[in-house]
Chain A
Amino acid sequence: MLDVAGHVLSFSLYEGLVFGFVAIGVYLTFRVLGFPDLTVDGSFALGGAVAAVFIASGVNPFLATLAAFGAGLCAGLVTSLLNTKLRIPALLAGILVMVALYSINLRVMGGAYVSLLREVTIFDLTSQFLGLETRIAYSLLVAGVLAVIVFFILNWFLRTEIGLALRATGDNEQMVRGFGVNTDMTTILGVSISNGLVAFGGAVVAQRQGFADVGMGIGIIVMGLASVIIGEALFRPKGVARLLLAALGGAFIYRLVISVALRLGMAPGDLKLITAVLVIIALAVPYLQKRVQREWLPPAARW
């Protein structure tokens, strides 16, 4: 029993770290920039596809993972250019790129599926290097080290002069322009980095599960949102470092809940429905609370 609990916990921790990249990416767009970016579903699969194809053709898996990050950057670049230069609403721009990426991912992989079972991944390299036996131990280690690196880089970046301009863009775009910030640039930068991180997560997930397939990104945006919302609700973070940790923590709790539910016999196919319902409840509760307290409420946002 304890064994099972330990396994569920460590597995959730691992998944929380890996999907934490997605959660941090979603946090960057939705919360920091106020840019509801739906590209994520496409860029997650793009990251998996690019990493898998590179690894299958013999490229060093770490380089392949980095290439996936670069591909995600490009996807985010397209979405943010559609929004800032052609004035297509953020939601629609994200959906357009997400749909386009489906075809692109098929082209990248030359099919719907690329297997990595016989390939050397970042996990294999690390386990060889460290001589670790159990899969979960080195999976945790790799994911943990990567998460720590991403955390420190972002925690530093968001407090630099550019990072501050980026955060202020999401907070008060009019004011930031008045202080000489090109808000198109900060938006492009933020959305690109976000999708880079999401693709990075996709690359790690593909290597761990041993394959990339064209459908692996479906519903990832909802999962990322669920993680962000759970993290905010549980940890009530203040300040950049804590917000980033809350996104990671939220991803962990979310994966933990899902793991437990699967253990208790939930059909894996129901996962996305349950995640969607979780997010709906999390979004609806604050509104309903205000309604009960008869507070003034703005009309629902359409975009």
Chain B
Amino acid sequence: MTENKSLLKLSKITKVFSKGTIDEVTALDKINLDVDAEDYIAIIGSNGAGKTTLLNIIAGVFPPENGGRIIVNDKEVSNLSEYRRASYIGRVYQDPHIGTAAKMSIEENMAMALLRGRPRGLRVASNKQRRELFRAALAPLGLGLEDRLNALVGTLSGGQRQALALVMTTLSKPALLLLDEHIATLDPRTAQIVLDLTEMLVQREKMTTIMVTHNMEVALRHGNRLIMMHKGRIVVDMNQEQKADLTINDLVVAFERASGEEFVDDKVLLHNGNVVGISDL
């Protein structure tokens, strides 16, 4: 494995919600994480493990507790607000509606996305050259969106919107791509299309990627590193070689050993059931 330079460094990241009340929850508990450039990390874990909170902290939706530091590309970003971090970080959400603007056209959505982290001025946002760029970016989806640049995004299906959101997020090539269960709400076929597209974009653009997923099979098949979280901590961290011959059952065992508990997430169990079927073949 070639040594890449560090792209993201988290140190002592803690996040407590509803501090000082009986509902106090420690969502993240002194997390340390080093992400190298071009890493493609899959994060799994049961509900409430802190996966989405981790992405929110990285993206700057809320700050970590005192003492936690976030460094992207050797620059400390711990105190930068979300919109300022956007020049380094792109994010695709679980809900396709969050990643796109319904009342604007595909072209306008993409023109908006293209200017990530760049100053916005009083030039007309789209022109012939940019339209060509948008068409070229949409064509690989095979959804025909490149011929419908003027269509309002609200008229697209959930899967089309999620594919568009992914293309929009990667259009400006952010240093770090965050995928927050971005295929979880899609039907199996569309989920596969979006997943293939993700793989293609990540490989082609060599984007450093953190993907949160509930699906163990996806986590095993994609990425060069696998992280499992539990109760705000990282309990398993495997590199490419360690995860190469892993099965879902190994993962469940690894989880139980690391967390010292029975594995109880019904969502993950469901996927587990599916995969047991496949290994029977």
Contact = CB atoms under 8 A, between A and B. Distances in A.
Contacts of A303: none
B74 to A, nearest CB: 20
Contact of B124 (A156, A165, A167, A174): A156
Contacts of B109: 168
Contact of A177 (B83, B103, B125): B83
B15 interface: no
Contacts of B168: 179
Contacts of A163: 125
Interface string B111-151: 11101111011111110000000000000000000000000
A145 interface: no
Interface string A19-49: 0000000000000000000000000000000
Contact of A180 (B98, B100, B116): B116
Contacts of B50: none
A260 B185 CA distance: 54
- Sort chain B's interface into a size bin: 35 or more
Nearest to A183: B83
Interface in A170-222: 171-172, 174-183
Contact of A181 (B83, B102, B108, B124): B83
Contact of B101 (A159, A160, A171, A238): A171
Best-buried of A157, A165, A167, A179 by chain B (most CB within 10 Å) = A179
A164 interface: yes
A179 B112 contact: yes
Given A162-B121, A163-B125, A164-B112, A178 B102 contact: no
B246 interface: no
Contact of B125 (A161, A171, A178): A161
A168 B90 contact: no
B104 A168 contact: yes
B98 A175 contact: yes
A161 B123 contact: yes
B100 A179 contact: no
B233 interface: no
A172 B111 contact: no
Contacts of A179: 86, 112-113, 115-116, 168
Contact of B86 (A164, A171, A172, A180): A180
A168 B82 contact: no
A160 B123 CA distance: 5
Contact of A175 (B59, B101, B108, B123): B101
A178 B120 contact: no
Interface in A235-284: 238
Contacts of A176: 101, 112
Given A176-B112, A178-B86, A178-B91, A160 B104 contact: no
A171 B91 CA distance: 18
A183 B86 CA distance: 13
Contacts of B124: 156, 159-161
Given A179-B112, A180-B83, A165 B120 contact: yes
Nearest to B119: A161
Given A161-B125, A178-B91, A179-B113, A172 B100 contact: yes
B112 A162 contact: no
Contacts of A160: 120-125
Nearest to A163: B125
A157 B123 CA distance: 9
Contacts of A159: 124-126
Interface in A69-97: none
B84 interface: yes
Contacts of A238: 152
A178 B112 contact: no
B175 to A, nearest CB: 13
B99 interface: yes
B82 A161 contact: no
A83 to B, nearest CB: 17
B87 interface: yes
Nearest to A184: B83
A74 to B, nearest CB: 22
Interface string A133-171: 000000000000000000000001101111111011001
Interface string B69-84: 0000000000000111
A165 B101 CA distance: 11
A167 B120 CA distance: 13
Contacts of B113: 179
Given A164-B108, A180-B87, 5 more contacts: A163-B125, A164-B112, A164-B125, A180-B86, A183-B83
7 contacts: A162-B121, A165-B120, A167-B104, A172-B97, A178-B83, A178-B169, A179-B113
